Every structure is written in C-alpha cells, then in structure tokens.
Amino acid sequence: MTEETIFNRILKGEIPCDEIYRDELCLVFRDIQPQAPVHLLVIPKKNIPSLKEASHEDASLLGHLLLVSAKVANKEGLESWRTVINTGESAGQTVFHLHLHVIGGRDLLWPPG
C-alpha cells in the first residue's frame, strides 16, 4: 500500500486547493509556494509515487498529464512556460505522488537549481 500524501487528501476533498481544472484522470491547482507568477501543479488521480514507479500501463496517463499541462498554461495566458517533474528527494521531490509543475509568467533561467 502506498503512503497517503497531502495530494491524496486534496483529491479526496479533505484539504482545499485553488482548483483550476479537473477531469476524470487529473486535477490542476495553484501551488501554495509559487516559484513564479504562475505555478500550477498537475496531479493524476491515480496514486503513483514518482515517475520512477510509473509503468508502461501509465503511458496514456502520462501523455494526458502533459497535454493538460499545455492546456492550463494556455488558459493562464502563458506564451512560454516550463514543465517540471521532480523524481526523488535529491531532485527536489517533497510530495511522493507524481506531479507536474507548470511554471511561467517570468523569465526562467537555465540551468535550473
């Protein structure tokens, strides 16, 4: 059994979020510690701890998450943005429920971190 995370509690409605999009596969909401003027989190309803644990059966879901990321970025009026998936603690993952960060609204430097 996978450990319950804050994202599981958000999905269950136990913790409120600033929701901007929802469908049968995922939820998108504003990050409570934004790193840019627009900082959204795209989380699947399926509990996958990280990209490392995703399997071939998740390929369609992963593609859907990327397409939703683009959809909400466009909805937010972004001309360009960064989509980030942190995998593992040393890469900056703090919630172990797969999620995509959609970050934009300012110039983003490269390399990150």
The H or E element spanning position 29 is strand 26-30
- 56 is an active site residue: no
Active-site choice (39, 56, 64, 99): 99
Residue found by looking up tokens 């989509």 in the block: 83
Q: Which of 110, 113, 94 is nearest to 31 (CA)?
A: 94
CA–CA gap between residue 59 and residue 41 (Å, rounded): 19
Write out the catalytic residue numbers.
99
